[in-house]
Structure 1
Amino acid sequence: MIAGIVSANLEPIIRISVLDSRRQTHERDAILDTGFNGWLCLPAEFIAMLGLNWQRVGTAILADGSQTVFDVYEGTVLWDNQPLTVPVDEAASKPLVGMSLMRGYELQLTVVKDGMLALTKASSQKTHQ
């Protein structure tokens, strides 16, 4: 299970661990974003500090309908205590966890300040395969 909290701004937050190029772990708070169908989104400064490898250029349609272009890197996160290599989108935002990373998990929230957040592996679903 992955536990988190609902912030004062009603954002669902979990602590993520990302490995750098030397396999050292770095932790950051990340917002669970159900409107983001990607894996993980990190700011450029954090990506540079981690020394992640660039993979390609990506494009996306934002909630306001505009299109954006961004760099995509490869990174390893500790997801439910297991290392998982995922695409990492670069963006000028807080770290975001997308629906692809949450695939196969059940999300429970108590949507109040300091409310409970729990991500548990769904027993009947495949996760990241």
Structure 2
Amino acid sequence: MMQGIVNRRCEATLPLVVGNANGQRQVIDAVIDTGFNGFLTLPSSIITALDLPWNASDIVTLGDGSETFFDLYSVTVIWDGQFREIDVAESETDPLIGMSLLYKYGLRIDAVEGGIVRVEAL
């Protein structure tokens, strides 16, 4: 089971360790975004600091229906105690966890400031 908290902005957050193939790691607080069907987003500053390898560009449909290009990079994440290599989309927002990373996991949120966020394998 993984555990996070609901922050002051009423966002469900989860701490994650992300890194590159050389073993360089960084701890981030990521916001769970059930409207995002990708794995994870990271800002360019973290992508650059970890020197993540570029994989491709992809067209993504945003919540308002508009389409935009995102650059995709390869990142290693520690997820439920296991190392996983996933695609990460570059986006100048807070890091976001999408539904592809949450796939086959249950999500429980105590939706109050400071509430517990639980992510557990189904």
In the alignment, which residue of structure 2 is the partner of 1:125?
none
* Separation of aligned partners in 2, 1:105 and 1:22: 28
C-alpha contact 1:21 1:51 (8 A) present in aligned 2? no
| Partner in structure 2 of residue 68 of structure 1 | 68
Write out per-residue CA displacement over residues 87-129 of structure 1, whole angstroms, 9 at most, x where no aligned residue: 010011110110000110000011010011100000xxxxxxx
- Gaps of at least 5 residues in structure 2 are none
Structure 1: gaps spanning 5 or more residues:
123-129
Q: Report the equivalent of 1:80.
A: 80
1:65 Cα offset (Å): 1.3
Q: Distance in 2 between matches of 1:34 and 1:7?
A: 16
Deviations 1:26-84 (A, max 9, x none): 10100010000000100011101111110000111111111111100111100011000
CA RMSD of aligned residues (A): 0.8
Give, in angstroms, the shift of residue 21 of structure 1: 4.0
> Could you tell me the TM-score, scaled by structure 1's length?
0.92
Distance, in Å, in 1 between the alignment partners of 2:71 and 2:54 is 7
The normalised TM-score by structure 2 is 0.97
Corresponding residue SS for 1:117: strand
Map of 1:49 onto structure 2 = 49
Residue 46 of structure 1 aligns to a residue whose secondary structure is: helix
Given that 1:20 and 1:26 are in contact with CA atoms closer than 8 Å, whether structure 2 keeps it comes out as no
The 3-state SS of whatever aligns with 1:56 is strand
CA distance in 2, matches of 1:69, 1:100: 19
In the TM superposition, residue 7 of structure 1 has moved relative to its aligned partner by 0.8
Structure 2 counterpart of 1:99? 99
- Whether 2:24 is the aligned partner of 1:24: answer yes
Q: Count the aligned residue pairs.
A: 122
Identity rate of aligned residues, in percent? 39
Distance in 2 (alpha carbons) for counterparts of 1:84 and 1:20: 11
